[in-house]
Structure 1
Amino acid sequence: MAVSTRELSQAPESTTVVVIGAGPAGMTVANLLQRSGVDCVVLERRTREYVAQRQRAGIVETRAVRMFDSWGLADRVLGGVPHQGILELRVDGEPHLVSDYDGSEGPTARLCPQQMLVQKLTAEYLANGGDLRFEAADVSLHDLTGEHPTVRYRTADGHLRTLTCDFVAGCDGDHGISRTSVPDGALTPYAFDHGIGWLTVLADAPPPAHPLLAVSPQGFAAHFPRGPYTSRYYLQCPPDDHPDAWPDDRVWDALRTRLGDPALVSGPITDREIFRLRSLVHDPMQYGRLFLVGDAAHIVSPMGGKGMNLALYDADLFARAVRDSVHDHDDTALHTYSERCLRRVWNDQEFSHWMTGMLHDAGDATGSGPFRRGLARARLDRLFTAPGAARAFSELMTGLEFGESAGPAR
């Protein structure tokens, strides 16, 4: 029987690392490997246009900015403007300004929407000759516990391709192929459902002077900048709610009430969705020669802005570990990759969990009850009045170093 031309597979190609996914984690891995003189191929199932427009996180924390700076990439890939180091916590309409500056020297956090970071990382990688293949369908991973894993995929025009490599970086998120390629039982999942929903709204409306988190008896709300003329808003809601239940008038009325700002300027709403706050950690973050990076290994509640920053931290550790293995034949960092990543993951999970509970329990006591509401209010009061508590908060927001060096490629 004749074989269709579309089904023919070319001879296998080889590379050192195959990176699955071209989001912030994948493109950071690719750029750091490129700077280390390690060849890689990036596979992404979506189009370049789709990836470049994905709206997600907006702040690259201080530690991550300094990581990019140590690789000589901060000025090249971090757009946006410097974060002023001020966060506003508004309680029942009363503003409290909290600093997230920890007093250390060096670059500070950047207000940099995820799509801008990805666009710049992608442009930088391609400008330096990087191999990035969009619309890679039917990706499958094989021989992950062998010395040379293989990755198979189908090109946009239907041709089969095979890549052999030394390592696979699984950077394709919570629902990607990387983690599902790991046999059942090889990873232990630790999951937590916060029982809270957020309506997230993107609108062409003036951003706030500072990132704003608000507590009120009607529930939690937040207002973040996403550009000079764009804002991202969040409203606490039942986790099984539906976006259709939130027409424009209801959204703006709820925001004005919860933010304590009757004069809040509205604008065209360009996107709205509801998601459930949840946390998830997979241990270990490695299976054979597959290394999970970012959301493929862990999901963190958005409170505290740790999700994308954890992915950047994973990418840095992975790239340096591969560099050591390839150039120095030293696999120590590869063997300890999961342990070192998970130390920060659990630290940031704890901080996010603490902050999520405090800002939701302190508002609407319907779910938490009056005792937990009182506890949460006491935590907020301590944050506003005790210098030691404020300093600890700043250090956690900035991103603790954990004694890791962030040395650039040699």
Structure 2
Amino acid sequence: MKTQVAIIGAGPAGLLLGHLLKAEGVDCVVLERQSGDYVLGRIRAGVLEEITVSLMERLGLDQRLKAEGLVEDGFNLADGERLIRIDIANLTGKHVTVYGQTEITRDLMEAAPSRGLEVIYQAGDVALHEIDSDAPYVTFTADGVEKRLDARFIVGCDGYHGPSRKAIPVGAAQEFERVYPFGWLGILADVKPCYHELIYANHQRGFALASMRSPTRSRYYVDVPLTEKVEDWSDERIWDELATRLGPQAAAGMTRGPSIEKSIAPLRSYVFGLMRHGSLLLCGDAAHIVPPTGAKGLNLAASDVHYAAEALTAFFRKQDGEGVGNYSAKALARVWNAERFSWSLTKLMHRFPEDGPFERAMQVAELDYISTSKAAQTSIAENYVGLPV
């Protein structure tokens, strides 16, 4: 098999890149180690910046997104009984859209056959070869048969645990990591949201988040120590904890119901300091991870894909290699901005085990400042809706 671009990973980043390249006449093949059903079964975040929405619009795959997505003009920071609204629409002229990552993936996946995007699912034993050369290739197994895919470029969209980043020689780049001492226990339920906008809460018992996927489906989180087990958290216990942490206004609007999904996701910040090595480019979680506090994970992957698609299209259509050469520096500049915002919001809204009275006083002072300062609110709003690409 031969193609111009081999894409590893058929999550939203890999599929989005594949569609963008095909739309520009660049040949590509997507390899995914899991089945399509497994990919669609992964529950992920769903707050979309304009960059993500605009890419779906460009592809003409935004019909469901526009029909079912919830346009949000603001969000809220809660501290005890206080609710601080960040009016992102008035402060930035922009908004975010709540639309599940699973639904983005479904839209991209279902459009692939009609648009000629080849996706090979259940591709096992994926390995990258000769990435330092102009003729890299990928080996994999499909239906028990070993196969080879030759390409001019490989793009790793295969997440933190995938083979792409691991193919880069050890020591080629510095790695930056912060592991947080807690995880987010999430519950998904078919109940109406407790509030019309997202609420991020800092309570003495810990962090909580009230969000939604639709007018009838809600997504809630509480932070828990990494030693906690999801089996020890009944639905009733989670709802009680949410009502306490989110505060009386949110609790009054909360509808309880049986969970359709529960899980604990550990939090960390991670950056691999090189997003291109030879003929290999990295996108999304293969190169960086952000805590979900700032809603940046999918959107940061989308901006990576935007840069990668531009660079690869220029290479093949105009024989211009400048974009590929600058890809890593350009993408990392936005990555670090998103990492900074996600880290700062995580620090502001969580109680860390090592923190004492001074650190808590600093949180209160910061929230006091945000509540009265248009400049502070504007800074938060600009970062939340996404800095320019």
| TM-score tier (shorter) | over 0.9
Aligned partner of 1:221 in structure 2 is 208
For structure 2, the residue ranges without an aligned partner over 5 or more in a row are none
Contact 2:184/2:265 (CA < 8 Å) preserved in 1? yes
- Could you list the runs of 4 or more consecutive aligned residues of structure 1 that deviate by over 4 angstroms after TM superposition? 102-105
Task: State the SS of the aligned residue for 1:266.
Answer: coil
Offset at residue 227 of structure 1 (A): 2.4
Return the letter of the residue paired with 1:61. Answer: E
Offset at residue 286 of structure 1 (A): 1.4
**Scaled by the length of structure 2, what TM-score is found?**
0.94
Return the letter of the residue paired with 1:19. Answer: I
Offset at residue 391 of structure 1 (A): 1.1
Task: State the SS of the aligned residue for 1:190.
Answer: strand
Aligned partner of 2:338 in structure 1 is 348
Equivalences for residues 361-372 of structure 1 within 5 A? 361=351, 367-372=354-359
Of the three residues 57, 62, 65, the one matched with 1:75 is 62
Aligned partner of 1:196 in structure 2 is 182
Contact 1:77/1:124 (CA < 8 Å) preserved in 2? no
Offset at residue 394 of structure 1 (A): 1.0
In structure 2, C-alpha distance between the alignment counterparts of 1:102 and 1:26, rounded to whole Å: 34
Contact 1:187/1:282 (CA < 8 Å) preserved in 2? yes
Equivalences for residues 93-108 of structure 1 within 5 A? 93-101=81-89, 108=95
1:138 aligns with 2:122: no
Of the three residues 157, 176, 184, the one matched with 2:170 is 184
Offset at residue 103 of structure 1 (A): 5.4
- Size of the alignment, in residue pairs? 384
1:5-42 Cα shifts (integer Å, max 9, x gaps): xxxxxxxx110001100101101100110111101001
Percent identity for Structure 1 against Structure 2:
36
Aligned partner of 1:3 in structure 2 is none
In structure 2, C-alpha distance between the alignment counterparts of 1:104 and 1:391, rounded to whole Å: 7
Of the three residues 22, 27, 40, the one matched with 1:39 is 27
Of the three residues 331, 345, 358, the one matched with 2:321 is 331
Offset at residue 271 of structure 1 (A): 1.8
Of the three residues 16, 40, 54, the one matched with 1:28 is 16
Contact 2:69/2:214 (CA < 8 Å) preserved in 1? no
**Cα distance 1:275–1:72, how it changes in 2: closer, same or farther (>3 A)?**
closer
Offset at residue 368 of structure 1 (A): 1.5
1:203-222 Cα shifts (integer Å, max 9, x gaps): 22222311111121111111
Offset at residue 233 of structure 1 (A): 1.1
Task: State the SS of the aligned residue for 2:89.
Answer: coil
Task: State the SS of the aligned residue for 2:192.
Answer: coil
Contact 1:42/1:133 (CA < 8 Å) preserved in 2? yes
Task: State the SS of the aligned residue for 2:241.
Answer: helix
Contact 1:63/1:398 (CA < 8 Å) preserved in 2? no
In structure 2, C-alpha distance between the alignment counterparts of 1:193 and 1:310, rounded to whole Å: 19
Offset at residue 124 of structure 1 (A): 2.2
In structure 2, C-alpha distance between the alignment counterparts of 1:104 and 1:389, rounded to whole Å: 13
1:254 aligns with 2:241: yes
**Cα distance 1:247–1:103, how it changes in 2: closer, same or farther (>3 A)?**
closer
1:260-284 Cα shifts (integer Å, max 9, x gaps): 2444221111222222211100011
Offset at residue 104 of structure 1 (A): 5.6
Of the three residues 72, 77, 97, the one matched with 1:110 is 97
In structure 2, C-alpha distance between the alignment counterparts of 1:136 and 1:148, rounded to whole Å: 21
1:131-174 Cα shifts (integer Å, max 9, x gaps): 1111111111111111111111111x212211100000100101
Which structure has more helix as a fraction of its residues? Answer: 2
In structure 2, C-alpha distance between the alignment counterparts of 1:366 and 1:174, rounded to whole Å: 27
In structure 2, C-alpha distance between the alignment counterparts of 1:200 and 1:366, rounded to whole Å: 21
1:173-219 Cα shifts (integer Å, max 9, x gaps): 01011112222112321111122222122222222311111121111
Offset at residue 371 of structure 1 (A): 0.8
Contact 1:151/1:162 (CA < 8 Å) preserved in 2? yes
In structure 1, C-alpha distance between the alignment counterparts of 2:139 and 2:223, rounded to whole Å: 42
Task: State the SS of the aligned residue for 2:292.
Answer: coil
1:233-287 Cα shifts (integer Å, max 9, x gaps): 1111112211122122211111111112444221111222222211100011112
Greater CA drift, 200-209 or 137-146: 200-209
1:119 aligns with 2:109: no
In structure 2, C-alpha distance between the alignment counterparts of 1:349 and 1:77, rounded to whole Å: 30
Contact 2:181/2:353 (CA < 8 Å) preserved in 1? no
Of the three residues 382, 390, 410, the one matched with 2:369 is 382
**Scaled by the length of structure 1, what TM-score is found?**
0.89
Contact 1:197/1:240 (CA < 8 Å) preserved in 2? no
Of the three residues 18, 28, 43, the one matched with 1:55 is 43
Aligned partner of 1:128 in structure 2 is 115
In structure 2, C-alpha distance between the alignment counterparts of 1:114 and 1:350, rounded to whole Å: 23
1:86 aligns with 2:99: no
Aligned partner of 2:385 in structure 1 is 398
For structure 1, the residue ranges without an aligned partner over 5 or more in a row are 1-12, 405-410
In structure 1, C-alpha distance between the alignment counterparts of 2:126 and 2:237, rounded to whole Å: 43
Return the letter of the residue paired with 2:277. Answer: Y
Return the letter of the residue paired with 2:331. Answer: C
**Cα distance 1:77–1:159, how it changes in 2: closer, same or farther (>3 A)?**
farther
Aligned partner of 1:408 in structure 2 is none
Contact 2:32/2:122 (CA < 8 Å) preserved in 1? yes
Aligned partner of 1:161 in structure 2 is 147
Contact 1:77/1:117 (CA < 8 Å) preserved in 2? no
1:284-319 Cα shifts (integer Å, max 9, x gaps): 111211111000000001111001100000001001
In structure 2, C-alpha distance between the alignment counterparts of 1:400 and 1:203, rounded to whole Å: 32
Offset at residue 352 of structure 1 (A): 0.6
1:319-359 Cα shifts (integer Å, max 9, x gaps): 11000000111110101101001001111101111100111
Of the three residues 193, 197, 203, the one matched with 1:210 is 197
In structure 2, C-alpha distance between the alignment counterparts of 1:131 and 1:305, rounded to whole Å: 30
